[in-house]
């Protein structure tokens, strides 16, 4: 059975759903119309109480907001931002690829020297610095990073154990070995430990 809403602009069919009828009654009140219910024309009166009717109807008919989807939640999670300080372009690009391909990580910036790193840190505010220990005279830089509470992970080539020990003594929080080459197997081989060492200092 259909009911009809009479408003100044015309007649509209409505289904038997109570909530739908309630909304149309409110619309009719706002327009000064009437509702035909079971063949009887029922005046809806003046606009008194329309706001309260609207609130009650909304409370009954409006569905609860759905829970946030997982993509939205993941996008709100903080990512680990990494500043790469590496003097060779090839290695900078390889390490950048490792970071960018790892979920939860983002490149804050990359540079070739301590001087440029000092300029970039206030702007990019990294969570961790990957530092090539083949760059000389880094003691004061490591000290500055400690004062700013930015952990440093020393980057070394395989076989540079003595350099790694020195870097750890001078303030590096951890170390990781660079890929041996740009071959996919070498890059992937270095990736796991590098990410593990970064996570160990930012937790």
117 & 177 share domain: yes
**CA–CA separation, 43 vs 38, rounded Å?**
14
* Domain end residue (candidates: 15, 43, 61): 61
In the predicted model, what is the mean pLDDT of residues 40-51? 44
40 & 80 share domain: no
% residues pLDDT > 90 (the chain) = 59
Q: Is the pLDDT of residue 131 over 80?
A: yes
CATH of the domain at 139: 3.40.50.2300
- Judge if pTM exceeds 0.75: no
**CA–CA separation, 60 vs 43, rounded Å?**
23
85 & 24 share domain: no
3 state SS of 157: coil
* Domain end residue (candidates: 39, 61, 83): 61
pLDDT at 24: 64
21 & 118 share domain: no
Q: Is the pLDDT of residue 69 over 50?
A: no
Does residue 198 contact residue 104 with C-beta atoms inside 8 Å? Answer: no
163 & 111 share domain: yes
Q: Is the pLDDT of residue 11 over 60?
A: no
| Domain encompassing residue 112 | 70-202
pLDDT at 35: 47
74 & 54 share domain: no
% residues pLDDT > 70 (the chain) = 63
Q: How many domains does the chain have?
A: 2
81 & 11 share domain: no
86 & 150 share domain: yes
Question: Strands 105-111 and 128-132: what pairing?
Answer: unpaired
């Amino acid at each position: 059975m259909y009911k009809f809403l009479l408003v100044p602009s015309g007649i509209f069919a409505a289904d038997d759903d109570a909530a739908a009828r309630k909304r149309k009654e409110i619309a009719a009140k706002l327009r000064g119309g009437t509702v035909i219910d079971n063949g009887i024309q029922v005046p809806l009166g003046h606009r008194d109480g329309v706001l309260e009717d609207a609130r009650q109807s909304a409370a009954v008919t409006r569905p609860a907001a759905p829970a946030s989807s997982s993509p939205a939640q993941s996008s709100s999670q903080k990512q680990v931002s990494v500043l790469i300080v590496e003097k060779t372009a090839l290695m900078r690009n390889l390490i950048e690829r490792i970071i960018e391909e790892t979920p939860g990580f983002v490149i804050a910036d990359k540079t070739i020297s301590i001087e440029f790193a000092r300029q970039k840190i206030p702007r990019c505010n990294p969570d961790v610095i990957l530092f090539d220990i083949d760059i000389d005279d880094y003691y004061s830089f490591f000290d500055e990073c400690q004062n700013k509470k930015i952990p440093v992970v020393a980057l070394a080539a395989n076989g540079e154990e003595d350099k790694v020990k020195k870097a750890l003594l001078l303030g590096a929080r951890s170390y990781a070995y660079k890929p041996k080459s740009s071959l996919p197997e070498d890059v992937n081989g270095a990736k796991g430990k590098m990410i593990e060492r970064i996570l160990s200092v930012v937790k």
